Structure 1
Amino acid sequence: MTVRGLADAGTELGLCARSELPTTLAVADPGPDGTGYHFHLDETATFRLPDHTAQVERFAAVYVGGVAAVVEPAAGAVAATARAGAARSLLVVDPNVREDRTIDPPTASRLLRELCSLAHVVKASDEDLARLWPDTDPDESGRRLAAEGRLVVLTRGAKGATAFAGDAEPVSVPAVPVEVVNTIGAGDAFMAGVVNWLTTHGVAGSGAVAGLSREQVTRMLEFAARVAASVCAQAGTEPTRPPDN
Structure 2
Amino acid sequence: MKHATTGAPRALVFGEALVDVIDGTAFPGGSPLNVAVGLSRLGVATTLATRFGDDAHGAQIADHLRASDVSFAEPVPGAETSRAEVTLDATGQAQYRFVLDSELPATPLDGIGLVHTGSLGAVLTPGAATVAAAFDDPGSRLRSYDPNIRPDLMKDHGATLDQVERLAARSHIVKMSDEDAEWLYPGQDLDAVLARMVALGASLAVVTRGAAGCIARFADSGAAAPADRVAVVDTVGAGDSFMAALLAAVLDGPLAASLLAGDPPAPHDVEHALQFAARAAGITASRAGANPPWTRELAGEAHGEPATFPATS
TM over 0.5: yes
Runs of 5+ in structure 2 lacking a partner?
1-27, 29-60, 301-313
Q: Which structure carries more helix by proportion?
A: 1
Is structure 2 residue 84 aligned with structure 1 residue 26?
yes
Amino acid at match of 1:78: V
Match of 1:166 among 201, 210, 219: 219
Shift of 1:194: 0.8
Match of 2:239 in 1: 187
Identity of aligned residues (%): 31
- Gap runs ≥5 in structure 1: none
CA-based RMSD of the aligned residues comes to: 2.3
Aligned position for 1:12 = 71
What's the CA shift for 1:141?
Answer: 1.4
Total equivalences in the alignment: 234
The 3 A distance-change label for structure 1 pair 24 and 83 is same
Partner of 1:79: 132
Instruction: Kindly provide the CA deviation profile for residues 138-192 of structure 1, in whole angstroms up to 9, marking residues without a partner as x.
Output: 2211023225451011100110011111111x11111001011010111111001
Deviation at 1:32, TM superposition (A): 5.2
Following superposition of structure 1 onto structure 2, how do residues 1-245 of structure 1 map, counting pairs within 5 Å? 1=28, 2-13=61-72, 16-19=73-76, 20-31=78-89, 34-41=93-100, 44=101, 47-52=102-107, 55-84=108-137, 87-100=139-152, 103-147=155-199, 148=201, 150-168=203-221, 170-201=222-253, 203-204=256-257, 206-208=259-261, 210-241=263-294, 242-243=298-299
Structure 2 residue matching 1:63: 3-state secondary structure:
strand
Determine if contact 2:283/2:293 at 8 Å carries over to the other structure: yes
Is residue 66–residue 97 contact of structure 1 (8 Å, CA) maintained in 2? yes
AA at the equivalent of 1:40: V
Per the TM alignment, residue 100 of structure 1 is displaced from its structure 2 partner at its CA by: 0.8
Relative contact order (alpha carbons < 8 A, sep ≥ 6): 1 or 2 greater?
Answer: 2
Describe the SS at the equivalent of 1:88: coil
Describe the superposition over 1:57-78 as per-residue Cα deviations: whole angstroms up to 9, x where unpaired. Answer: 4211110120111211111111
Deviation at 1:83, TM superposition (A): 1.6
CA contact (8 A) 1:227 1:240 kept: yes
Q: Provide the TM-score with structure 2 as the length reference.
A: 0.68
Alpha-carbon distance in 2 for matches of 1:205, 1:83: 20
Deviations 1:112-143 (A, max 9, x none): 12111111100111121222222532221102
* 1:17 CA displacement: 4.7
Residue type at the aligned position of 1:22: E
Match of 2:36 in 1: none
Distance in structure 2 (CA, Å) of the matches to 1:72 and 1:162: 32
Moved more, 190-199 or 99-108: 99-108
- Secondary structure at 2:71's aligned position in 1? coil
Letter in 1 for 2:66: A
Please tell me whether the aligned partners of residues 223 and 271 of structure 2 are also in contact (alpha carbons under 8 angstroms). Answer: yes
CA contact under 8 A between 1:194 and 1:224: conserved in structure 2? yes
Q: Secondary structure at the match of 1:49?
A: coil
Q: TM-score scaled by structure 1?
A: 0.86
CA distance in 2, matches of 1:207, 1:50: 26
CA distance in 2, matches of 1:38, 1:149: 31
Contact 1:56/1:88, CA 8 A, preserved across alignment: no
Deviations 1:33-88 (A, max 9, x none): 843221112xx3xx221222xx224211110120111211111111112222x643
What's the offset of the Cα at 1:22? 1.3
Do the aligned partners of 1:62 and 1:92 also contact (CA within 8 Å) in 2?
A: yes
State which drifts further: 181-190 or 194-203. Answer: 194-203
How far residue 104 of structure 1 moved from its aligned partner, in angstroms, is 3.3
Q: What is the distance in 2 between the residues matched to 1:177 and 1:97?
A: 26
